[in-house]
Structure formats: structure tokens, C-alpha cells
């Protein structure tokens, strides 16, 4: 009843202060009104440093859903804006957008899965096929042929055994498409990128690249 009363008092355009004081599921209902979304499981602390003055962003992560292929969830980014020099708590909801993430079930199902963001051009089915192909590569599938380059002098490209060992220590976090190729970025967002590139029709030919991300 308290939450319903609080929601009823909220103005037509929610403020950052109103958003912050709600539990994740209620916060999602507040800022995603009119949009189709699942139950929000968690709210990630506002993202700072890369936004314009007077702008604050937060991420809302939906409860994952188990499918026949694997686990699916959406991650929403919501942006609040305020006039220059105004209290950021008075910032009002400006816009929101979502991205789909897929992963293979972990030891405790979808809640412990590792998720990869699907960039435009990759649908869910292709995302799952990409993760399945990557797992076969990491297990040392028959007839693998690697091309490797490394900007960091980490020794990644020493030999095929080293490549496989390193790939098995990294987590995929983004899947993209470039013409016929799938590109999977592994590691940690914002850190050194290890890219695995292959054609889903012929995943035995694999190009591995390690690079330092461009500064913002």
C-alpha cells in the first residue's frame, strides 16, 4: 500500500529522487511506463563520468527468462536530465532504451549465467549459435585454424594451446556482426578486448585479436 501511494504521488515525469527511493521492481514500473518490460531484478548504480553535465543514467536489469536455447534478459538504460547547476535529484526522466542479452545457464540456472549483449544485426537465435560455436572452439574442436594478433604483447599468440587456454579464462560480453562474420568480445567492458571472429557457416577458421580499446 505504501508503494502504491508513493507511485500515485509521482508527477507525470518521474524525477531521479523518486526513482532512487523505490525497490528495483517498482522503480522499473515507474520509469518504463507504457513500455513492454519484464520484472526488474536489479538497478545498477548511476553511471557517471561519461554523461553530460546535468545528466545521470542508471541501468535496470530484467529477471532472466529460460528458453529452449538458453537464457534471455533485457538491460534498460534510463537517462535523467536537469538544468545546469540544478540539484541532480530534481532531474526528470528524459529517455530510455533497452538491449537484449543472452547467456547459457549457469550452475543455478539463468540467475547465475554470464550474459552477452547483442548488438544491432544479431538476433537471439544467432546469439545462441555464436555462444555455442565459441564453446566448441574453446573446447578445442577438430580442425581449428587460428589467425592471431596481439597489440598488448601478452603472449596470447604464442601457439594454439595458449590461445585456447586464454580464451577459456575470459567471459563473452558483446556479440556483433560484420558481413558474414560473428565478432565476440571477451574480457571485461572497458578493459583490454580479446575479439574472436568467425563465420557461423565455417567456425573452424577463427581470427583472434587482442587490443586496447580506444579512449573516449
pLDDT of residue 10: 45
Annotated domain spans of the chain? 2-103, 114-211
Residue that wins the pLDDT comparison between 8 and 166:
166
- Determine the Cα–Cα distance for residues 204 and 212; give it in Å rounded to an integer: 26
* pLDDT for 94 beyond 70: yes
* Spatial separation of the C-alpha atoms in residues 44 and 33, rounded to whole Å: 19
189-212 tens-digit pLDDT: 889 999 999 999 999 999 999 998
pTM: 0.86
Q: What angle do CA 181, 120, 32 make, to 5 degrees?
A: 155
Q: 3-state DSSP call for residue 45? A: strand
CATH of domain 114-211: 3.10.450
Contact yes or no for 52/116 (Cβ under 8 A): no
Contact by Cβ (8 Å): 57, 78:
yes
Amino acid at each position: 500500500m505504501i508503494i502504491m501511494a508513493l507511485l500515485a504521488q509521482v508527477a507525470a515525469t518521474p524525477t531521479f529522487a523518486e526513482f532512487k527511493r523505490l525497490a528495483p521492481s517498482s522503480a522499473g514500473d515507474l520509469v518504463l511506463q507504457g513500455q513492454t518490460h519484464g520484472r526488474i531484478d536489479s538497478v545498477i548504480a548511476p553511471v557517471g563520468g561519461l554523461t553530460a553535465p546535468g545528466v545521470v543514467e542508471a541501468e535496470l536489469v530484467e529477471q532472466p527468462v529460460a528458453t529452449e536455447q538458453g537464457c534471455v534478459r533485457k538491460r534498460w538504460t534510463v537517462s535523467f536530465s536537469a538544468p545546469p547547476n540544478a540539484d541532480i535529484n530534481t532531474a526528470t526522466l528524459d529517455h530510455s532504451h533497452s538491449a537484449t542479452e543472452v547467456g547459457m545457464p549457469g550452475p543455478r540456472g539463468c540467475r547465475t549465467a554470464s550474459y552477452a549483449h547483442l548488438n544491432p544485426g544479431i538476433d537471439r537465435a544467432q546469439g545462441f549459435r555464436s555462444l555455442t560455436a565459441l564453446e566448441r572452439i574453446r573446447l578445442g574442436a577438430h580442425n581449428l585454424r587460428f589467425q592471431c594478433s596481439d597489440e598488448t604483447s601478452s603472449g596470447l599468440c604464442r601457439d594454439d594451446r595458449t590461445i585456447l587456454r586464454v580464451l577459456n579464462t575470459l567471459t563473452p560480453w558483446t556479440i556483433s556482426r560484420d558481413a558474414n562474420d560473428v565478432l565476440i568480445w571477451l574480457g571485461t567492458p572497458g578493459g583490454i578486448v580479446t575479439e574472436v571472429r568467425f563465420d557461423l557457416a565455417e567456425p573452424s577458421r577463427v581470427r583472434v585479436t587482442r587490443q586496447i580499446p580506444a579512449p573516449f
